[in-house]
Structure 1
């Protein structure tokens, strides 16, 4: 149990009880009396029961991590979360929020929030009228948003994207993977000029991949900071266009889609690439040393289950040292680099 003696530490600003097994006990109500707390970390502390509304008294709190616990009731989220007006970091990963239809409004009331993680929370995908979201007086500070694996079912016109469009100019990391996003990418994504990591894998995105690239590049073609583009396990079709405008790209994950056509030699000029995943697509044509001419940082290469033909001489001096390579079903030979 958490000792009530903690109340005597009225000047306490930093409290980390992570990785301590509290065996399903409830967070005590007296936590709300530690009014000077700035940092509260209860990651994998195995608390249970309900989250006490008294947490809302911690108005100086900047960091709150309640992830990987066993709370039976988080339905009172809107009764305490909006009071934490100084909060910049919130992690509720692996807590069941299926009975919290107003989670989006609660989060939207945190004016200084920069980091939000609600992955594996069984979030309900209730549609919210856009005027509700835009009329709440909140800042546009969100930079890191993780909503992975919630089975959220929505399309490009849903309230999730309307909500995120408020923050797109400042978003650096966005993870919507392992949900049920249907259709194409909304035009609002064209404002993601500062985006460094975009994870949309394992959804049901459809349409031409080139159109998605055009949206991402349309607002800021010369200053794109994207480092990770993860679109694996979707239904994207068409060919792979010239991606050299993604001048900072380190990881390109397009495997398990419906892409076709050839791979342009221009990919060999993307010198920052460290990982390329193109397997399980209907790609064809010849891949030669020109496709890898400047990829000195490449560590992972996946082109398995495609119809690509590999044409290399046995004495080719490749510019990289691979740690992972997957070429199953490619047409290899008669030569292969030593």
Structure 2
């Protein structure tokens, strides 16, 4: 059902009205997830609502129709969300006339920004705070103009077929907290030196054409919660010890990158990690002593739920203290040369998936009631049932 939402701030004390001289009126239309289907054409009565400030049509089914050019008539819009609504074709240039926009989401449709492209779309909406264009086919470079969008807090450009060099100035935007350009294999990314005041909380660069080194200054991103640099090729392939400075990190993915050598001991300082993915690298040496040891540094990994270290060059025993990591749900250690006593996993009551390629210690045989799926050299498989 179409519902026009008008919010009038009522009941404001007379003293407040006297101080500010006005009562704010905000007009918005929220039709997200309303099971709408069909087409919207430029003659629709929707585009007569010229006082609209927010419009949300996300998560509907518009049958691969094109976003109408009449969207440009809604010149007072500050918020426009057309994501996940099965639009297709070229995004209209008229969106660029919505100069008051602070939020724009066109992601996850089958649309494109070819002629005109990204540069034309954003050239007039310089007050944007949040821009979501993931899944929009651009087949172009990223405009350097975005490095001047000082209000930008979120920029999502995943899977856009981007090319050329990613403007390094974007990393240094003073308010940018969330940046994702993953799954653009022809996008050349080079990380600058990061300063300690960076507000970045999420940085996703996975599966881009990364060049250069992972700088030591990555450790200056003290606010970072998520870091994904999987599938990248680094010229300096020893993981910087400064990564241990990222105390707020919840998610770290290095899988498929060309790091080698031993895992740095500083990683034991990552107290908040709940997901750690480092499969298909070339890390070598024993499983680090800080895994699972309580109360030493890796005792801080008690929040860890998902651990993936498959297909590295790790060797030696899996320390029994891993059993102290009681929140573990998924463990992938296959493709290494490890030894284990299986009973170390039996206390992990939340474990649902366990994959190992291990050498069982001679005195042991596989346990018939192991708590998770196991894929081992002995080809023993058991699934836990409730």
The TM-score by the shorter chain falls in which range? 0.7 to 0.9
**What TM-score comes out, normalization by structure 1 length?**
0.83
Partner of 1:303: 333
Of 280, 287, 305 in structure 2, the residue corresponding to residue 274 of structure 1 is: 305
Number of the residue aligned with 1:177 = 206
In structure 1, the residue matched to 2:119 is 78
Determine if contact 2:182/2:208 at 8 Å carries over to the other structure.
yes
Report the equivalent of 2:156.
117
Mark the CA change 1:317 to 1:94 in structure 2 (over 3 Å): closer, same or farther.
closer
Q: Which of 243, 258, 272 is the equivalent residue of 1:235?
A: 258
Once residues 290 and 166 of structure 1 are traced to their aligned partners in structure 2, the CA distance between those partners, rounded to angstroms, is 37
Q: Distance in 2 between matches of 1:191 and 1:83?
A: 33
Q: Which has the larger radius of gyration?
A: 2
- Per-residue CA distance 1:97-148 (angstroms, 9 max, x = gap): 223x3x24132232222111111111112376x7xx49xxx95111111101
Q: Please say if 1:331 is aligned against 2:370.
A: no
Question: What is the root-mean-square deviation in Å for CA atoms of aligned residues?
Answer: 2.7
Output one character per residue of 1:29-63: Cα deviation in whole Å (capped at 9) or x when no partner. Answer: 32122122222121233434433332123223222
Residue of structure 2 aligned with 1:41, choices 69, 81, 94 = 81
Cα pair distance change 1:28/1:167, threshold 3 Å: farther
- 2: CA distance between counterparts of 1:323 and 1:198? 25
Q: Secondary structure at the match of 2:96?
A: helix
In 2, the alpha carbon distance for the partners of 1:166 and 1:75 equals 35
CA deviation after TM superposition for structure 1 residue 276, in Å: 1.1
Match of 2:227 in 1: 198
1: CA distance, partners of 2:54 / 2:326: 44
Over 3 Å counting, the alpha-carbon distance change for 1:279 and 1:317 in structure 2 is: closer
| SS of equivalent to 1:285 | strand
Matches of 1:207 and 1:303, distance apart in 2: 25
In 2, the alpha carbon distance for the partners of 1:275 and 1:139 equals 32
1:254 aligns with 2:283: no
Q: Which residue of 1 aligns with 2:132?
A: 91
Larger RCO (CA under 8 A, 6+ residues apart): 1
Deviations 1:234-273 (A, max 9, x none): 2211112322211111111111111111012321112121
**Structure 1 spans left out of the alignment, 5+ residues:** none
Alignment partner, residue 34 of structure 2: none
Count of aligned positions: 316
| Residues 168, 154 of structure 1: alpha-carbon distance in 2 compared, 3 angstrom cutoff | farther
Structure-1 separation of matches of 2:98 and 2:74:
7
1:17 to 34, 37, 57: 57
Q: TM-score, normalised by structure 2?
A: 0.73
Aligned-pair distance for 1:206?
Answer: 5.4
Q: Superposed, which structure 2 residues align to 1:121-136 within 5 Å?
A: 121-126=160-165, 133=169
